[in-house]
Amino acid sequence: MSEGRFIIRGGRQLEGETVVYGSKNAATKMMVASLLTREPCVLENIPLSGETDITRELCERIGSRMSGAEGSRWEISTPEIATSVVPELSRKNRIPILALGPLLHRKGFAEVPVLGGCPIGHRPINFHLEALNRMGVRIERRAHSYYAEAEEIHGADLVFPFPSVGATESVLLTGVLAKGTTTIHNAATEPEIMNLIGMLRAMGADIRADEVRREIEIYGVERLGGVSARVMPDRNEVVSFATAALATDGDIFIRDASANGMQAFFEAVCALGGTCEVREDGVRFFGRRPYRRMTIQTAPHPGFMTDWQQPFCVLLTQAEGASIIHETVYDDRFGYVKDLCHMGANITVTDECLGGERCRFDGATYNHSARITGPTKLSGAAITVPDLRAGMAHMIAALAAEGESVISGIGHIDRGYAKLDERLRALGADIMRK
Ligand code: EPU
């Protein structure tokens, strides 16, 4: 984790143009998918963030050769699996569990490190483990790793209790080379998953995805080949830059941003009183207070994404009246709120389901709803970032605040955003990395 800090002097409107990078949450899974074949895979538009770096280490430990990894076009070749036993990495993210399927297909056994990732709730992996189990894989939890083996991986009819992104990806990466058909009911259908499916199909996989019914059918094939695939634009980056612009009464154009998978966000921006102008080559966002109060409920795609609520919460501190955010995906994703309050926001969190609808956390003691009363003036503060998207909320609050903020723990931010400080500076922000 980077020991550095960002020093931000807030109050400057963000203006001008930036370019959105490739999605880390698509790129990392596509890197793992390359392990399914001996042939070279070319991935375009890879972001150079901490997260792709950690995944690159995972692939290299397994035996992948990377070329072009200093730029955004990587060629990944794994003609031989050097080892399917990868118990430790220098840093952790949530990707290693996804490598089990590809490694099992190529070696029959595999060991991967336990997961890291942001502390935003319990984050169990029981759906992954139960699904792989049903497909013929035996998995043992060891002290710092998961060990798995299988004589034959076969298809299965799976019903997920919740449309989990990671579990859907685990099953895709395992089912493509399994014997027979695997069906996922209540699958996640995020655009990043469709990006992965597109790559797998181009490698020779046979997959049918019905996004409306949340049903994915994977017809196992004998082998997969090399591919050239492009990583989609990072939706979270678009949201982060857009909310930073709106929170500073700014006006920015995000080149290469697209409307794919962004509907719920665009609708929220318009309801708030901001504007999104979708063009062929990108999207322009601008807005000026007064902003209107809102009720937002996070949900799996096509709903308002859980990764967007933290930056949006900062915007709602500037809206007139009492707004609500009901977080229904993770049970503990309001850790950043106390820092926003320290900066002057008026936010309370509760374990109730606010906003009218009950979710699966109803009756539990998770603080998963927030009431935000605005508008409130924000002032600069010293803050330590607890996780990636919370870190972005702090950044946006600091950009909108009066005075200086010192943000520590920025390794979380670097894990998800490449060159964030440089790009914000180019939009007029007063930000320094120290
Ligand atoms: N869940 C289970 N059991 C499982 C899997 C998930 O109970 O086996 C629960 C989780 O605890 C959570 C919910 O299901 O409450 C959704 O989890 P999901 O599996 O969909 O999340 P993930 O795959 O771990 C990815 C992204 C997250 C993003 C979520 C939801 C990556 C590496 N991470 O996580 O991104 O918030 O999907 O869209 O793709 C981020 O980028 O900052 C980030 C946290």
Of 193, 208, 230, which residue is a domain's last?
230
Residue 104 and residue 127 in one domain: yes
Q: What's the pTM value of the predicted model, to 2 decimals?
A: 0.97
Dist CA 284 CA 116 (whole Å): 35
What atom in ligand 1 is closest to the CA of residue 124? 3
Q: What is the pLDDT of residues 361-372, one digit of tens each?
A: 999 999 999 999
Which of 97, 224, 228, 252 has the alpha carbon at shortest distance from 169? Answer: 97
Give the range of the structural domain holding residue 183, as residue numbers without chain letter: 24-230
Closest protein CA for atom 16 of ligand 1: 164
User: At 2, is the pLDDT very low, low, confident or very high (cuts 50, 70, 90)?
Assistant: low
Residues 166 and 49 in one domain: yes
Q: Of the residues 230, 261, 292, which one is the last residue of a structural domain?
A: 230
Residues 37 and 158 in one domain: yes
- Confidence tier at 337 by pLDDT (50, 70, 90): very high
Question: Does one domain contain both 96 and 141?
Answer: yes
Q: What average pLDDT score do residues 333-349 get?
A: 96
> At residue 1, does pLDDT exceed 70?
no
Number of Cβ within a 10 Å radius of residue 251: 18
**Is the C-beta atom of 94 inside 6 A of ligand 1?**
yes
Residue nearest to atom 14 of ligand 1 (CA): 164
Orientation of helix 50-62 relative to helix 24-33, angle to 10°: 10
What lies within 8 Å, CB to CB, of 70 at 6+ separation is 48
By 3-state DSSP, what share of the chain in percent is helix, strand and coil, each rounded to 5?
Answer: 30, 25, 40
Average pLDDT, stretch 306-320?
A: 97
Give me the number of domains the chain comprises: 2
How far apart (Å, rounded) are the C-alpha atoms in residues 60 and 71? 17
DSSP letter for 293, please.
P
Handedness of CA 94, 315, 370, 305 (dihedral sign): negative
Active-site residue flag, 118: yes
Q: Are residues 13 and 29 in the same domain?
A: no
Q: Is the CB of 389 under 6 A from ligand 1?
A: yes
Residue 217, CB-side half-sphere exposure with 13 Å CA sphere: 6
Q: Catalytic residue, from 59, 118, 353, 359: name it.
A: 118
The CATH number of residue 357's host domain is 3.65.10.10
Q: Decide whether any atom of ligand 1 lies within 6 Å of the 330 Cβ.
A: yes
Task: Give yes or no: residues 212 and 301 share one domain.
Answer: no
CB count within 10 Å of CB 159 equals 10
pLDDT digits (tens, 9 = 90+) for 94-129: 899 999 999 999 999 999 998 877 777 788 899 999
